[in-house]
Structure 1
Amino acid sequence: MKLRARLALVLAVFATVTGLLVATLSYTTTSQQLMASVDTSLRSTATTLRAPTITVSRSASATRLHPLRHRPGGLFALAIAEKITRSGKVIPLVGARMLPVTNRDRAIARDLAPRWLRTQRVGDITYRILTIQYRHRGALLIGRNIDDVLHSLAVLRTRFLLLVLGAAVVAAIVGYLVASTLSRPILALATTLTASGQPDLARAVERSDEVGVLARSFRDTLEDLHQSEEAQRRLVQNASHELRTPLTSLRTNIDLLQRYDTLGSSDRERILADLRSETVELTNLLDELVTLTVEGQTNDTEETVDLCTIVPAMIARFEARTRRSFETTLPPGSVALRIKQQAIERVISNLLDNAVKFSPSDTTIAVALTPSSLEVTNVADPLDENDREHLFERFYRAPTARAVQGSGLGLAIVREIITALGGTTYVHNTPSELGPSELGPSELGPSELGNRVTVGVTFQARR
């Protein structure tokens, strides 16, 4: 069912239920008031008939004993009145029709029961009947024709039903029109496509209403989707390129191993060593690809971590594993960051691993942490402008680093994580090469003389 039909149906049901409640309440109140008026009329008639000035003896003439019969209209125009003696005899007082007398009416005449008010149909006429004691000498039975009242209530009931039906129809029409008006720009947003197959959101984005919010959300989602598709395409292209080299080497070595019997022991050892090396490189490459693909999609929850605690712990781990020397500079207090702990540990690990790979083993690696950045500086050949520009791209490796085993994805993973955090990544050869505002922390770098390369990230610490 379409949205327009749903809204029309909902409004129609709402109008029907509301109308029925209001109509029922109004009808009940009106009916009670009309019947209360009839009951008041009956009690007033009983008071008049019980008055001492009215003679009800049968021995007197009709004109003298029953003057109420000759009053046109008035209180008794629609009434029938009878007297019931204590012995149960019925004497007509007003009206030509006789009202039915029940045992309860006779009990009231004998002072054995209280007054009785009821609605009863006599022939083709409906009466409201009151039975009341008459001076301890019997009872008065007074009936009032209420067909006019019932007719008025029937007319009122019909009008209420028609009113509720009309309100439901009007509500359905209004709901359909409102839904059509509201959904028209949404449908236009969904069906407006350019020749390239992409939605044309230019006009919708400028709107300030909910449709504009939806259009901007669509635009942002489509941009993210486009960037994701481009990233996946580049990843597949780069991965296929990077995998081709070790696979070619593996195939060549396997072809050589087919002549195993004709190879010398040194050749066999060299080929097997190459196979092991290429296998390790393939394994590392696949691990990095998996990490880069699933980064940010894990179920780990973000938490507030203190980099002043994590950075020294990671450095201690690298010192034990690589036997390298590190200089650490930490700010006073703490550096709190809201992030997944596994992600920030990977950032630190990749930065340290990059510095270890591309620096001489007898040099010291400097790590400087500030409330807004983390920099790792190592002794290395200086990077030219092109290398610095592409260093954080996937699979990119500077010409001087191609001899070092690696996948070229470590710094790309760093950029992915830091960018998702809202930070930036950068690299420079020496602190003096860039301005202080671009460097972040000052007085960076190891104590050794020589060329130095600094790889850093910036972030917004949690206050």
Structure 2
Amino acid sequence: MSLRSRFALAFAAVGAAVAVTVGVLSYLAASDRVFAEVDRTLRSTTVALTRGMEKRKERDPADTVGQSPAGQNPVNRSPAPFPGLDLPAPGGEAAPQPVLQAVGRDGTPIRLSGPLEKLPVSDAARALAASGEAGQSDTTEIDAGGHSYRLLTTALGESRGALQVAVQVDQTRQVLAGMARQIAAVSLAVMLVAAAAGRLLAGRVTRRLARLAEVAEEVSTDGRVTHDATEPVGGRDEVGRLSASFSRMLGRMVAAREAQERLVHDAAHELRTPLTSLLANATVLHRVGELSPDSRDRLLDDIQHETRELGHLVDELVELALAGRRGETEEPVDLAEVARRAARRVYRRTGRLVHVDADDSVVRGSSQGLERAVGNLLENAAKFDADGGEPIEVRIRQGAVTVHDRGPGIAAADTSRVFDRFYRADSARGLPGSGLGLAIVHDVAEAHGGSVSAGPRPGGGAAVGFTVSRSRLLPASGPRSEAVAAD
């Protein structure tokens, strides 16, 4: 079942539940109100009948309900209604004549007036007639003469019997039945309207969800993401937010896939050169016995050099592929301490002195990634500043790390491309390296919300560095009043 159909059924169920609940409560309230009015009529009639009997008793003290002095039935002596009896109609409207009946203390029914010859006497009515207290009553509904009656039995007390008053309620039942049918019809109409409204609203909601589902299925089927798929479907509600997040996710997937394809293409191109050289050297090794000792030495040196370059390139590729995907826990990082560790490592590898001039910048980020970025900058500077006349300088200010060297500098045409993968300027063609070191610096800076920069250094050389987002700066861990040299 589709989500739209489920929404429609849910709306219909809620609408039906509300309509039925309101209808049932309305029916019960109306029924109680109507029968309360009928019962009031029965009580009024009983009171009027009792008053009439009291007046008769004043004129004839020997007259009692169920027994007379001569043993005669009072009905035989006085079949007409009692004097003073004023019979009201339910609701003040014309209604069938009520049935009046007395019940002797022995349970014998005595007809007083009305369209029926006799009302049925139940066990409860006999108990009231025999031993009920004055005013004690019982209300029930009976079927007699093909009609429904509401019957009120009231005890006279002191074993004098009871009075019964019944009024026909067929018309009342018909009115209530018609009301029940109307309520059922209204409930059905409300249910249908709720279902239609639910389907309409669900269509507006699920139309956007269906679009997202189609895009997800398309991506999961062939892995391709079209430009249209990255466009949000609109809206400010939860579905709109989901669509916007989904579109951003697809955009990142597209960017990641394009970056992956570029990396594979560039890596294949860069790997081809050392592999071709190694293959050529391996071919020459088949005739190693024909080579002079100097040629063999040069051949072996070339193989070792190409192997080292290949291993270095593979390491850089792995590092670049894993950059930003390690899932490292971010922590407070002291940039000055990071620079010291990187400087000591560069000194061990190259013998170059590094001068660290740092403030108290402490940032929230990846310690390993930041150290890798600073180390790459220092190694790049050591490679181009081969003379080593002056120490390499690391300057750290407010989350910005800049490495200064006294090498040949960076040409203006190369400034915007030095951080591209595998890019190597003309001046660096003969130097070792894979062209990935600064690309890794770029990825680390981007992962920390910063940027990279490269340009000439005043007085000659280059100034290359990166920044960390200022939102990642933390309170200072301690003041530093002088530069620190690492060796």
Question: Shared fold by TM > 0.5?
Answer: yes
Structure 1: unaligned runs, 5 residues or longer: 433-450
CA contact (8 A) 1:427 1:455 kept: yes
The alignment partner of 1:389 has SS state of coil
Q: Describe the shift of the 1:381–1:80 C-alpha distance in structure 2 as closer, same or farther (beyond 3 A).
A: same
Corresponding residue of 2:339: 311
Q: Of 105, 127, 140, which residue of structure 2 is paired with 1:118? A: 140
| Cα deviation digits, residues 90-131 of structure 1 (max 9, x gap) | 112232153322222212222258532333444643333322
The alignment partner of 1:287 has SS state of helix
Q: TM-score, normalised by structure 2?
A: 0.77
Q: Of 98, 112, 127, which residue of structure 2 is paired with 1:93? A: 112
Q: Of 440, 446, 451, which residue of structure 2 is paired with 1:419? A: 446
Q: Of 107, 129, 132, which residue of structure 1 is paired with 2:151? A: 129
Corresponding residue of 1:164: 187
Matches for 1:236-247 after TM superposition, within 5 Å: 236-247=264-275
Corresponding residue of 1:437: none
Q: Of 234, 242, 251, which residue of structure 1 is paired with 2:262? A: 234
The alignment partner of 2:419 has SS state of coil
Partner amino acid for 1:12?
A
Corresponding residue of 1:53: 55
CA distance in 2, matches of 1:173, 1:361: 83
| Cα deviation digits, residues 10-34 of structure 1 (max 9, x gap) | 3322222221222222222222222
Matches for 1:437-452 after TM superposition, within 5 Å: 451-452=460-461
Q: Of 77, 81, 87, which residue of structure 1 is paired with 2:100? A: 81
CA distance in 2, matches of 1:461, 1:218: 28
Q: Describe the shift of the 1:76–1:4 C-alpha distance in structure 2 as closer, same or farther (beyond 3 A).
A: closer
CA distance in 1, matches of 2:27, 2:337: 77
Are 2:23 and 1:11 equivalent residues in the alignment? no
Q: Describe the shift of the 1:282–1:19 C-alpha distance in structure 2 as closer, same or farther (beyond 3 A).
A: farther
Matches for 1:56-455 after TM superposition, within 5 Å: 57-58=74-75, 60-63=77-80, 65=82, 77=96, 79-95=98-114, 96-111=116-131, 115-122=137-144, 124-136=146-158, 137-180=160-203, 198-199=227-228, 224-263=252-291, 267-320=295-348, 322-331=350-359, 334-360=360-386, 362=388, 363-431=390-458, 451-455=460-464
| Cα deviation digits, residues 251-276 of structure 1 (max 9, x gap) | 11221222344445655554444334
The alignment partner of 1:117 has SS state of strand
Partner amino acid for 1:160?
I
Q: Describe the shift of the 1:87–1:399 C-alpha distance in structure 2 as closer, same or farther (beyond 3 A).
A: same
Q: Describe the shift of the 1:245–1:321 C-alpha distance in structure 2 as closer, same or farther (beyond 3 A).
A: closer
CA contact (8 A) 1:189 1:199 kept: no
CA distance in 1, matches of 2:21, 2:87: 46
Q: Describe the shift of the 1:72–1:60 C-alpha distance in structure 2 as closer, same or farther (beyond 3 A).
A: farther
Q: CA deviation at 1:360?
A: 2.7
Structure 1 segments of 4 or more deviating over 6 A? Answer: 69-76, 182-191, 207-219
CA-atom RMSD in angstroms: 3.8
Corresponding residue of 1:26: 26
| Cα deviation digits, residues 443-462 of structure 1 (max 9, x gap) | xxxxxxxx422111123323
Q: CA deviation at 1:241?
A: 1.1
The alignment partner of 2:268 has SS state of helix
Q: Describe the shift of the 1:243–1:135 C-alpha distance in structure 2 as closer, same or farther (beyond 3 A).
A: same
| Cα deviation digits, residues 165-206 of structure 1 (max 9, x gap) | 111222233344445566778989999xxxx9743999x99x
Q: CA deviation at 1:369?
A: 0.4
CA contact (8 A) 2:81 2:113 kept: no
Partner amino acid for 1:174?
A
CA distance in 2, matches of 1:342, 1:47: 101
Partner amino acid for 2:324?
G
The alignment partner of 1:379 has SS state of coil
CA contact (8 A) 2:274 2:310 kept: yes
The alignment covers a number of residue pairs equal to 438
CA distance in 2, matches of 1:111, 1:386: 120
Which has the higher mean CA deviation after the structures are superposed, 237-246 or 318-327?
318-327
CA distance in 2, matches of 1:301, 1:48: 93
Are 2:466 and 1:457 equivalent residues in the alignment? yes
Partner amino acid for 1:342?
Q
Q: Describe the shift of the 1:335–1:78 C-alpha distance in structure 2 as closer, same or farther (beyond 3 A).
A: farther
Q: Describe the shift of the 1:133–1:413 C-alpha distance in structure 2 as closer, same or farther (beyond 3 A).
A: same
